[in-house]
Amino acid sequence: MTKVHPNAASAIPTALADEELPRPACHCLSSPPQPTVLTVWKKSLLFNCDGFTVFDDKGNLVYRVDNYYDSSNRAEIVLMDASGNSLFTIRRKRLSLADNWVVYDGETADRPLYSVRKHVSLLNSKSLAHVTSLRGSGAKGSKNARVFEIEGSYANRSCVMYDDVRRRVAEIKRKEAVAGGVIFGRDVFRLIVQPEIDPSVAMAMVILLEQMFGGGSSRRFSF
């Protein structure tokens, strides 16, 4: 996959950066880890691409997804860091009747990390997707064990990702506009990630939710 590295510093829309609030002085020896708050923009910084652009709470570019409109290989999605290094490659599982996906480390094509399946049963209408570890992780540490459950409504940008002991490890929320500022639509939202998981894993799940529940938007990646 050919990578193009835009000038991240000059490309960041200032309206997408969270306002930095004053922080009270801490007189304790140590403070507990804080969640990572990301702003997700469902748009590529490259004019001839479709994808995602993700910023931290200071407006710095963190993650990118750039898929060329005229690419002959649309069967995979690559999540990159700000420099264009591949973090995860997401591929649809072949010969599967259900909406199943596989997440690989970097650009490798063997030993996948996760299998992600769209929830299709009517018994639990809140559930969106099930994430299974293929290398052994989570509290139980066993291979092929369900490690994450995603619930909520992606269309409304209101989702929660739980781990295998039902802790909230990540959330998708609508991004609220600052008083008198820009009004954000569904293409701009917040991803709040707890210290228990890597933010890049949570972002990979956002990409998969877009594939499963993107609603046939013109910006949804086609295969």
- In this structure, the number of other CB atoms found within 10 A of the CB of residue 180 comes to 5
Taking the C-alpha atoms of residue 152 and residue 161, their distance in angstroms, rounded to an integer, is 9
Average pLDDT, the chain: 82
Find the helix or strand (DSSP H, E) in which 201 lies.
Answer: helix 199-213
pLDDT at position 174 is 93
Least trusted range by pLDDT, from 58-62, 124-128, 149-153, 170-174 = 124-128
Radius of gyration of the chain from its Cα atoms, rounded to whole angstroms: 18
pLDDT digits (tens, 9 = 90+) for 49-60: 889 999 999 999
Find the mean pLDDT for residues 39-68. Answer: 92
CA 141 to chain centre: 23
Note the pTM of the prediction, 2 decimals: 0.80
- The model's pLDDT over 69-97, given as tens digits with 9 standing for 90+, comes to 655 445 789 999 999 999 999 999 877 66
Half-sphere exposure (Cβ direction) of 185: Cα atoms closer than 13 Å: 3
pLDDT of residue 164: 93
Token pair belonging to 114: 């996760």
For residue 218, what are the CA distances in angstroms to 39, 92, 118, 130?
Answer: 21, 19, 21, 26
Contacts of 88 (CB under 8 A, 6+ apart): 78, 79, 103, 104, 105, 106, 113, 200, 201, 204
Confidence of residue 47 (pLDDT cuts 50, 70, 90): confident
CA angle centred on 136, ends 78 and 127, rounded to 5°: 65
- Report pLDDT digits (tens) over 178-214: 766 677 888 999 999 999 999 999 999 999 999 999 8
Q: Of 101 and 17, which is predicted with more confidence? A: 101
At 51, list the tokens: 């994808």
Lookup: tokens for 177 = 């506009």
